[in-house]
Structure 1
């Protein structure tokens, strides 16, 4: 028996078993609904989802949820969640370019940009229904899946852990009894792309089965990466390169890591593999146990901030080469592994009651190195306006070691009695994380000419989080065709830091402290002064080398902190099954994300004699705590099957109030007494700006989501989706322009000016307030549209299927600034991409051959962007045109 026919037999048995415990008309209605799961080729097949923690028909589930099958993922070339961006209504994903290896997931404009062990995502990521706490897990490969389910809107009851925006549930395919089969698919493409995946289902006995799956991807980087040996040369400003005894120029920028690498090691490459081993044991007819081990390894180079050459054109910072040309003195390193063990036990107490216990243990390790300046250097006119500062840029980011260990437990009781269906459960997640993280700013605009600007190192050996919750949700069919949903969840979150340590060369007044007494450039303006160059940088200096990289006179700040938060979230819903094929529903639901705090810092440390303005002399420490964020959402929806099951149509209208938004970036926390008076070109010199998270006041979000499928004639398939989103700030009175886009940059490009606060309110001390009420949230394009079409053609006994997909997306901002300027806008303008494929399937279906192209029109589209000093934009980009051939076989 084939595994397809085995599935149909199991489905018919399931229908019969369900009817045995149901009565009359209800059973007939259920049979009609479930029978549609075995649809003809001329009808849209029924899809089951677990959005309510029960297996229900997608079109009979009163939740805004989209299901994507493995077949669709393979056809679209999607191997991790980033590939889903824009494919699903109001879902956007961005790649960080800050060396954190994170993925920013946004649903309906709700997201989080803190990818560190301090922050938490606003969209919950689940694998096999179990929560994955770290956003880096979203990089893991998706393969051999039943489907991916994307739930939009707050999931504060059933998927409550940090799911204010929604939830993504990745559901792996399970071992099957009674059928031995396997598949393999190989893919060869441009940029020397190579990919292979394999699946083998092994029915060891009638009640024990195993499933082995694996996937490997390699691809060269698509940027043109060159080695960087930059040495500043501005004779008119008295700046000339240093030379060795043979007269050769010595680079200014760090050469300790510089080495030539091939295209297979360029930034933007791929070098990943994953494997999954599953066992399933039907201990007895009512007891089913699954055990899974999963391994993921990423040996790529990571991402890199690249200048937006289109915006830089016509400015002094115009690109001297092409869009993909970059110079690198620190080649990228990404060594990330995720080991996961999952276990699930399902016990059917009786035909109407089930207990399910799921648990997972996951260990994520990561080492990452990034050249954070990408070789972009200052120009003479810029240096002339800030004499005495560094004439070159040289930034590098190092995660020299990190280990995130999490355990997740969830116990569920599910059942159905007469007209009542329910689920109740307990949830517990524990994390213990550690990280060694450093940055070297050897050349920076705020640094003193001749000396390294700053180096710092965080050693967090024990950072723990716990989340415990009790939840329940019930659906009551209180009248024929009417259903009431009531659910609630009580959550308590705690977090603590034990013995965190932070070193920073800025703690010292000695500008040469970086050199640990092994070198001293001298005193600027005196005959013996010789600015440092790369030959003066030795192993053992700087943040890369940990605590030992700092002079013994620098003592760390210690972080020992803890905090807790609790919240009750709930869901109310009302739905009516107008006909067996038409559902209308409405719901009111809430979501919550826990608060947090940062590493402890002395906000006055960079001031004259370590003092702040307006505060008593001496250090003033803060860990910058922030409060939980909450979201309340109201929805109206319709789901239906039309035209004799040839057309499906879903529409959801929603309105949300988003309070105490957690926003991560530069936070102005006060004013120092500057060591050197501020100038017009450096108005931020007395502002204390710390990277961290703060709460905004409120945003309002509303929109419409439409999606469905259509099979107008035999062998055809049309998919469509449209989303409209208005996600805007309602109130944020304390918003301040940060130093990444200073006032002189705004003046330079004719952007609206920013004005320093001159009042006495300490809440605004050191700030440059801006009114951003009405500005759009990041990752919230106003409109998106997706259309795809395919048609099966019989060529003899073979089947040939051409497929084409087009996606149009409106303008999208990457910050709350919403600065519409041709040269310094951190936004992505509206764009369209087209993908296509041509697939040939053998008569027996045992093999297939497919040619494909993604981003046919070579559209340049950013998924992250930031304005940087001195006045240009760097960004992460989606892939350029990618094409290739896939060959697959089944046995």
Structure 2
């Protein structure tokens, strides 16, 4: 096992060294950041959340919330949003290879194709209150997090844009003005040449100002090996026979160049990510507080590969016949600001602002080598999905004025504005056989300016009718405007005057045999109110029950060809209970919900009647319905901690009157005459929603063995079970389904007596199970069957981590 050093490794090591020198000069009375020993952990009923845009106890907040602290994030090795899924009832994450993103589903609601400048997610994500609009943000590293709050159900009143199914709020660790100089760090090694370094330092500057610096680097080799084409590619004589049988001209025959198949270099499913954050906190008086941060993230890993569910004979499961080398190069810069003014004993004003700039490039082997070519231009397919560039710029501003103290009516008023300016170019060359072959089709999608402007005003008030009864009402008015300016889709014109070669990044499509197939200029503009009505009753000092009706909304927009798609709306009916027992050492929080969607949005890559390709959006007719129950049980004693997370989704049916198509699937039925696409179609009315297992259960348990030396040895087990679930709305057979599975993680941590350092050994996916997160089946094999491919959760990984506090 080798450790590959990077500039960030060296920089972080330097931080550790300077921190140690500085720490040695501090007085012993200075506070330090240590591991939370069991005896010092707060009671579970003391956990605070910010779901109502004010700090309240979790057990007294009448919303279905999962609150995950920084210590749990560390022990469960939560590095990205996808790693949260086992800790949150109803949350699923789906990796998407060609864009290298993660799309989220909550309570069965999500959109696997919400991965471009056109589409928005149903699950909104926020970092320190700032909305992150594009799906690429979900692939970023979680750095120096204080907590994560997952709000389930529509959060349209207070949280706004695209929180139809819920919202995820990430809260970073803030500088500590009063805490002195302290920090933490960790170094880890594992299989697949995994290595990781993390560090965070609190820097008190004065009695009113402090800063915090945090950095992380994580890397590992790719999980997917390259298959050797030798032994799979037919002999030269067979290639000639196959080419002639297809009607080819003998004078044009070429042998397959096996050097075009990738055999070395960085593999698919690798990680090479770094992030750093500088935060500042200024508190010039008791009435004003300003938090400001700058965060940088870069990703030089590789996309995840679509693997054959049933590999060819003699080939390993974690391997593929690759003719497009993986490439990923993306960076983001984010600035986040929050100002809080206490105007008087009764009023507080907050201003939250954010700015982010994302840029990315990628290259992906979309065909995955499923069909082995029989000659240079027969049987196989060469499909490269290449993002030449994508640039997303967003800025947002939010003001809210709220009441303070104990009042008969607690209220909040707010105004919100967000603007995005996005551009990208995405090329898809598709060749028959190999990249030496003839053009099957190729396109270039160029969007020079995709603008999004969102404005909103909201209000919410809670009438405290008595000490135990509380009635809440809220409303939000939202206006969304989306403009595509100058967007053009180019398609191969099949002009014999041009050589049949894959388009390269530096070529302009109009110069190499392409013609304009679609102009995408269009404007979408629409307003929508959403509202909330809720009543809750305190049944004890730290227990309550509640019932609510709320609505959610996700904007419509523009799509390829300039067509518009409609917004989707949701009404959510929910009852819940939050109960605390054993003096706060046991909590049990549950919710039952029934959701009704109208105009549920679908999107997929499709083919239009003129043969051009594009990303098509549509709305499902009728009512899409989801009903479920979710429960979280948490218990802790001095030396024991346990969690049970349960999700039941027995009903998750699509609406009616909808034929769907997708280039990712082979659908044998002809589309109805009124269809605007030329793919074959399928009636998906009444099908189950994907990524919504009937049963999902996670169990976590850990115990501290206190040693005679005073140190602690803590074994931890985390296990998850999920029943079978569909992976697309087509509900095709076994290839389109993840069967029921169980998956477990183990760790063993030793913490030294003074809580100054620890060492942790872990194994994730102990059974080395193969769990699909998506599926596609568009390739017909020679025997007429369809070959399905999938993205998979990582194989078994293991390693050791050393961490310390100072």
- Normalised to the residue count of structure 2, the TM-score between the two structures is 0.89
Matches within 5 A, 1:451-470: 451-470=438-457
For 1:486, the equivalent position in structure 2 comes to 473
Partner of 1:128: 128
1:251 is matched with which residue: 256, 264, 267? 256
Which residue number in structure 1 is paired with residue 386 of structure 2?
398
Aligned to 1:890: 805
Write out per-residue CA displacement over residues 648-680 of structure 1, whole angstroms, 9 at most, x where no aligned residue. 0001000000111111114576x56xxxxxxxx
- Give the SS at the match of 1:863: coil
Write the distance in 1 (CA, Å) between the matches of 2:688 and 2:334: 38
C-alpha distance in structure 2 between counterparts of 1:434 and 1:588, whole Å: 38
Aligned counterparts of 1:2 and 1:420: Cα–Cα separation in 2: 42
In structure 1, the residue matched to 2:498 is: 513
Q: Residues 652 and 692 of structure 2 are in contact (CA less than 8 Å); yes or no, is this contact kept in structure 1?
A: no
Q: Is the 8 A contact 2:148 2:170 kept in 1?
A: yes
The residue that corresponds to 1:178 in the other structure is: 178
Q: Is the 8 A contact 2:719 2:745 kept in 1?
A: yes
The correspondence of residues 1-16 of structure 1 with structure 2, limited to 5 A, is 1=29, 3=31
TM-superposed deviation, 1:551: 2.5
SS of alignment partner, residue 205 of structure 1: coil
Partner of 2:217: 216
Residue 344 (structure 2) pairs with residue 350 (structure 1): yes
Tell me the residue number matched to 1:282.
283
Structure 1 residues 461 and 785: CA distance shift in structure 2, 3 A: same
Q: How does 1:286-365 map to 2 (within 5 A)?
A: 286-309=287-310, 318-365=312-359
| 1:853 has 2:763 as partner | yes
Q: Secondary structure in 1 aligned to 2:564?
A: coil
Sort the Cα spacing of 1:715 and 1:497 in 2 relative to 1 into closer, same or farther, 3 A.
same
Aligned residue in 1 for 2:587: 648
- 1:417-449, CA deviations, whole angstroms, 9 ceiling, x for partnerless residues? 52211121111110000101101101279x9x9
Match of residue 397 from structure 2:
409
Displacement of 1:781 after TM fit?
0.8
**Any idea what the Cα deviations from partners look like across 1:458-500, whole Å, max 9, x if unmatched?**
2211111000000111111012300011011000000111122
Contact residue 666 and residue 777 of structure 2 kept, 8 A: no
| Cα 1:223–1:770 shift into 2, 3 Å | closer
Residues 424-503 of structure 1 aligned to structure 2 (within 5 Å): 424-443=413-432, 451-503=438-490
The one of 746, 753, 756 equivalent to 1:843 is 753
3-state SS of 1:544 partner? coil
Secondary structure of the residue aligned to 2:137 is: helix
Aligned in 2, Cα 1:159/1:42: closer, same or farther, shift over 3 Å?
closer
User: 2:572 is matched with which residue?
Assistant: 633
Quickly say closer, same or farther: Cα 1:228–1:364, change in 2 above 3 A. Answer: farther
Instruction: Tell me if structure 2 keeps the 8 A contact 1:231–1:250.
Output: no
Q: Secondary structure at the match of 2:117?
A: coil
Deviation at 1:271?
A: 0.2
Q: Contact (CA 8 Å) 1:475, 1:486: kept in 2 or not?
A: yes
Residue 406 of structure 1 deviates from its aligned partner by 0.3
**Which residue does the alignment assign to 2:686?**
774
Report the aligned-residue RMSD.
3.0
Q: Deviations over 1:206-260 (max 9, x none)?
A: 110000000000100111124658866455544599xxxxxx97436894xx665
Cα offset, 1:353, TM superposition:
1.7
Q: Distance in 1 between matches of 2:761 and 2:78?
A: 15
Instruction: Give the corresponding residue for 1:110.
Output: 109
Runs of 4+ in 1 over 6 A off after TM superposition: 4-8
The runs of 5 or more residues in structure 1 that have no matched partner are: 9-37, 242-247, 313-317, 516-536, 601-622, 673-686, 744-753
Q: Deviations over 1:60-84 (max 9, x none)?
A: 1000010111111111111110101
CA contact (8 A) 2:469 2:536 kept: yes
Alignment match of 1:565 (pick from 526, 537, 550): 526
Instruction: Tell me, yes or no, if structure 1 residue 734 matches structure 2 residue 658.
Output: yes
Q: Give the structure 1 partner of residue 8 of structure 2.
A: none
Counterpart among 719, 742, 751 of residue 832 in structure 1: 742
- Indicate how the Cα distance of structure 1 residues 635 and 3 shifts in structure 2: closer, same or farther if over 3 A, else same: farther
- The counterpart of 2:711, out of the listed 787, 791, 798, is 798
Per-residue deviation, 1:378: 4.8
Largest Rg, 1 or 2 = 1
Residue 289 (structure 1) shift: 1.1
**1:863 and 2:787 are equivalent in the alignment:** no
Q: In structure 1, what is the equivalent of residue 92 of structure 2? A: 92
Counterparts in 2 of 1:653 and 1:389: CA distance versus 1, 3 Å: same
For residues 250 and 378 of structure 1, what CA distance do their matches in structure 2 show?
14
CA distance in 1, matches of 2:482, 2:620: 22
Instruction: Summarize the alignment of residues 266-281 of structure 1 with structure 2, pairs less than 5 Å apart.
Output: 266-281=267-282
Q: Does the C-alpha gap of structure 1 residues 787 and 423 become closer, same or farther in structure 2, counting only changes over 3 Å?
A: same
Query: In 2, distance between residues paired with 1:645 and 1:477?
Result: 24
- CA–CA separation in structure 1 for the residues paired with 2:509 and 2:153: 47
Q: Which range moved further: 691-700 or 649-658?
A: 691-700
Q: Deviations over 1:276-328 (max 9, x none)?
A: 0011111222111121100000001111111112xx6xxxxx44401012122
Matches within 5 A, 1:520-559: 537=501, 542-547=503-508, 550-551=511-512, 554-555=515-516, 557-559=518-520
Match of 2:632 among 682, 694, 707: 707
Q: For 1:63, what is the secondary structure of its paired residue?
A: coil
What displacement does 1:739 show? 5.5
Q: Please say if 1:811 is aligned against 2:736.
A: no
Contact 1:472 1:489 in 2 (8 A): yes
Q: Give the corresponding residue for 1:873.
A: 788
The alpha-carbon deviation at position 545 of structure 1 amounts to 3.0
Q: Within 5 Å, give how 1:57-76 maps onto structure 2.
A: 57-76=57-76
CA contact (8 A) 1:543 1:550 kept: no
Cα shift at 1:44: 3.3
Q: Would you say the 8 A contact 1:191–1:220 is kept in 2?
A: yes
The Cα of 1:345 is off from its aligned counterpart by: 0.9
Question: Which segments of 5 or more consecutive residues in structure 2 lack a partner in the other structure?
Answer: 1-28, 247-252, 781-785
Aligned match of 1:206: 207
**1:719, 1:789 within 8 Å by CA — same for their partners in 2?**
yes
User: Counterparts of 2:54 and 2:348 in 1: how far apart (Å)?
Assistant: 10
- 1:422 and 1:573 map into 2 onto residues whose CA distance is 14
Q: 1:4 to 1:640 in 2, by over 3 A?
A: farther
| Equivalent residue, structure 1, for 2:22 | none
Answer yes or no: is the 8 Å Cα contact 2:449–2:485 preserved in 1: yes
Give the Cα separation in 1 of the matches to 2:715 and 2:107.
32
Q: 1:14: which partner in 2?
A: none
Does 2:643 correspond to 1:719?
Answer: yes
Number of residue-to-residue matches in the alignment:
760
CA distance in 2, matches of 1:730, 1:499: 35
1:663 and 1:347, CA in 2 relative to 1: closer, same or farther beyond 3 A? same
Structure-2 change in CA distance of 1:345 and 1:215 (3 Å): same
For 2:626, what is the secondary structure of its paired residue?
A: strand
Q: How many Å apart are 1:734 and its aligned residue?
A: 2.7
Instruction: Give 1:545-694 correspondences, 5 Å limit.
Output: 545-547=506-508, 550-551=511-512, 554-555=515-516, 557-600=518-561, 623-667=562-606, 690-694=614-618
- Aligned residue runs from structure 1 range 51-62, under 5 A: 51-62=51-62
The 8 Å contact of residues 794 and 800 in structure 1, kept in 2 or not, is answered as yes
Distance in 1 (CA, whole Å) between partners of 2:196 and 2:208 is 34
Distance 1:566 1:252, change over 3 A: farther
1:494 and 1:395 mapped to 2: Cα distance? 34
